Amino acid sequence: MKKQVSRRGFVRMAAAGSAALSWLGGRRAPLVFAAEVDKPALLGGRPSHNGTWPRWPQWRESWEPEILKILRSGRWYRGSGVGSVQEFEAAYAKLVGAKRCLATSSGTTALITSLHVMGVDAGDEVILSPYTFIATYNAVLMHKALPVFADTDPETLTVDTTSIESRITQRTRLILPVHIYGLPCDMDPINAIAGKHQLAVVEDACQAWLAEYQGRMCGTLGDLGCFSFQNSKHLPCGEGGAITGNNDEIVDRCSAFHNCGRATGSLQGSGFFTRGSNFRMQHVQAAMLLQQFDKLVRETETRRENANYLSAELEAIPGITPVRLPRNSRAVWHLYPLRYDEKHFHGLPRSVFLRALRAEGIPCGSGYHEQYNDGLLDEALASNGFERLFSKKRLQDYRESFRDLTGNRLVCETTVTLSQNLLLAKRVDMERLIVAIRKIQTHSEALVKLAA
Ligand SMILES: *Cc1c(COP(=O)(O)O)cnc(C)c1O
């Protein structure tokens, strides 16, 4: 058993074993039982963790009076007067260090609006990393534009910036970096490429509230930044989103588009004047968000502390690789990802590793899969619109280009994720998580037999 476990790891494991005993009742442990603790739960041992983790989302009764006040007023939508939505926009802009913020009904509609305003139109191409939530693909497709995938860097899980330039064509309008899991993209090279080819940059910061790159926050590094406040996000209000930007006219155009095309701000004076839609946020949603700012800031620090601890510990485990961040950047860990190499676990498939980890009381997942093979793109490309807009050859080349996404494939096949609420737990919970992984590694040969 000690073969693969360092002395330090072994001592730590033994310590967590006795910690586990204390939460199991505090009785003096019989020796047989102590050995049981060392066995993976999937092989009949005691789980490393009791499986209780902070819940998400969280509600505070102290938020209720403000919400009730809005409900009772009957002034529910942003057009019924200055209220929480406008207050939220000013406060969120300040929080992330942007000149302006526009609240929207979701992260998806923030993206759709931003792409429209930055000039993405039918038949255009947008370059993005495929390693993202499907809404990023959908926002591009919604404009009848082609989502062209740059590769994913297996070390950072964000876009491989060296793979962007070769994908630029005459039709490329925009680069859409995604700060996936709250990991900042390496924005300097992206902005340099965009500048050289006169392309716009819209950041998908829908998982990156308060993430930092070179001293500035994600969502303020391109032309526009998009955020999501959906139920699962770090700043949740059920559904909601925001666009941040530093250019008044551009944000005013976003505001018009999201509000049925009504002119606002610098564009005022002509009534209805552009194409638009209704992507407005309501006051109740904004009030929910405003109440959670301090909480978000505090929890971001907690997640960072725990993530830093995990990364330092995991670094020492052969076959487990924490993610690398760009120089001078700070992640916010919407998910905590690690890369799993089965070679160091006697060939234990990732799926069984995940099962074993769950049995230890650690909820975990496998991140995104190769979504370009899922049918969504086939359906889009086979539609009348796409067939009219793109040549047969372009669409064929496009489909074949997915094969070159070797970095992304590797990431999809080897990533293990822990969700953000785990990072809100205590240091001792993180220690047990490390113990669980070490235990699985020590017994991986037996687990492989179980899987066979
Ligand atoms: C959540 C999310 C979106 C979409 O946001 P919604 O508010 O759910 O519409 C877009 N991109 C990424 C990366 C996301 O995580």
pLDDT band at 147 (very low <50, low <70, confident <90, very high): very high
Quick one: pLDDT at residue 271?
66
Q: Which residues line ligand 1 (CB under 6 A)?
A: 106-108, 132-133, 135-136, 178, 204, 206-207, 228, 230, 241
pLDDT band at 266 (very low <50, low <70, confident <90, very high): confident
Q: Is residue 20 scored above 50 in pLDDT?
A: no
Tokens of 106: 């979701």
pLDDT band at 19 (very low <50, low <70, confident <90, very high): very low
What HEC string does the chain produce?
CHHHCCHHHHHHHHHHHHHHHHHCCCCCCCHHHHHHHHCCHHHCCCCCCCCCCCCCCCCCHHHHHHHHHHHHHCCCEHHHCCCHHHHHHHHHHHHHCCCEEEEECCHHHHHHHHHHHCCCCCCCEEEECCCCCHHHHHHHHHCCCEEEECCECCCCCCECHHHCHHHCCCCEEEEECECHHHCCCCHHHHHHHHHHHCCEEEEECCCCCCCEECCEECCCCCCEEEEECCCCCCCCCCCCEEEEECCHHHHHHHHHHHECCECCHHHCCCCECCCCCECCCEHHHHHHHHCCHHHHHHHHHHHHHHHHHHHHHHCCCCCEEECCCCCCEECCCCEEEEEECHHHHCCCCHHHHHHHHHHCCCCCECCCCCHHHCCHHHHHHCCHHHHHHCCHHHHHHHHHHHHHCHHHHHHHHHEEEEEHHHHHCCHHHHHHHHHHHHHHHHCHHHHHHHHC
Mutate to test the pocket of ligand 1, among 113, 134, 136, 234 (most ligand atoms within 8 A of CB): 136
140 CA → ligand 1 middle, Å: 13
Mutate to test the pocket of ligand 1, among 132, 203, 206 (most ligand atoms within 8 A of CB): 206
pLDDT band at 37 (very low <50, low <70, confident <90, very high): low
Average pLDDT rounded to a whole number, residues 256-282: 88
136 CA → ligand 1 middle, Å: 7
Q: Where does residue 130 fall: left (phi above 0), alpha (psi -120 to 50 degrees), or beta otherwise?
A: alpha
Q: Is residue 22 scored above 80 in pLDDT?
A: no
**Residue 74 buriedness (CB in 10 A; 0-12 / 13-18 / 19+):** exposed
pLDDT tens for 276-321 read 999 999 999 999 999 999 999 999 999 999 999 999 999 999 999 9
Tell me how far apart the alpha carbons of residues 205 and 153 are, in angstroms, rounded to a whole number: 18
206 CA → ligand 1 middle, Å: 5
Q: Is residue 23 scored above 50 in pLDDT?
A: no
Q: Is residue 121 scored above 80 in pLDDT?
A: yes
- The whole-angstrom distance between residue 273's C-alpha and the CA centroid of its chain comes to 35
199 CA → ligand 1 middle, Å: 23
Please state the atom number of ligand 1 nearest to the C-alpha of residue 232. 1
Residue with the nearest Cα to atom 2 of ligand 1?
206
pLDDT tens for 105-116 read 999 999 999 999
Neighbours of 343 (CB within 10 A): 10
Neighbours of 44 (CB within 10 A): 9
CA 308 to each of CA 84, 207, 414: distance values in angstroms, whole numbers, following the listed order? 35, 18, 21
Tell me how far apart the alpha carbons of residues 54 and 45 are, in angstroms, rounded to a whole number: 24
Neighbours of 378 (CB within 10 A): 12
Q: Which CB contacts under 8 angstroms, 24+ apart, belong to 383-391? A: 385/122, 385/144, 386/144, 386/146, 389/122, 389/123, 389/144, 390/123, 390/146
Tell me how far apart the alpha carbons of residues 363 and 419 are, in angstroms, rounded to a whole number: 8
Please state the atom number of ligand 1 nearest to the C-alpha of residue 132. 13
Tell me how far apart the alpha carbons of residues 185 and 202 are, in angstroms, rounded to a whole number: 12
pLDDT band at 450 (very low <50, low <70, confident <90, very high): confident
pLDDT band at 270 (very low <50, low <70, confident <90, very high): low
Quick one: pLDDT at residue 353?
98
Sign of the alpha-carbon torsion through 399, 403, 406, 412: positive
pLDDT tens for 343-384 read 999 999 999 999 999 999 999 999 999 999 999 999 999 999
pLDDT band at 272 (very low <50, low <70, confident <90, very high): low
Residue with the nearest Cα to atom 14 of ligand 1?
206
Q: Is residue 153 scored above 60 in pLDDT?
A: yes
Tell me how far apart the alpha carbons of residues 207 and 214 are, in angstroms, rounded to a whole number: 18
CA 448 to each of CA 37, 349, 363: distance values in angstroms, whole numbers, following the listed order? 19, 8, 20
Average pLDDT rounded to a whole number, residues 164-183: 98
Quick one: pLDDT at residue 342?
98
Quick one: pLDDT at residue 385?
96
pLDDT tens for 218-255 read 999 999 999 999 999 999 999 999 999 999 999 999 99
Lowest mean pLDDT among 71-85, 163-177, 258-272, 298-312: 258-272
Determine contact, residues 227/81, Cβ cutoff 8 Å.
no
In this prediction, what percent of the chain has a pLDDT beyond 70?
Answer: 91
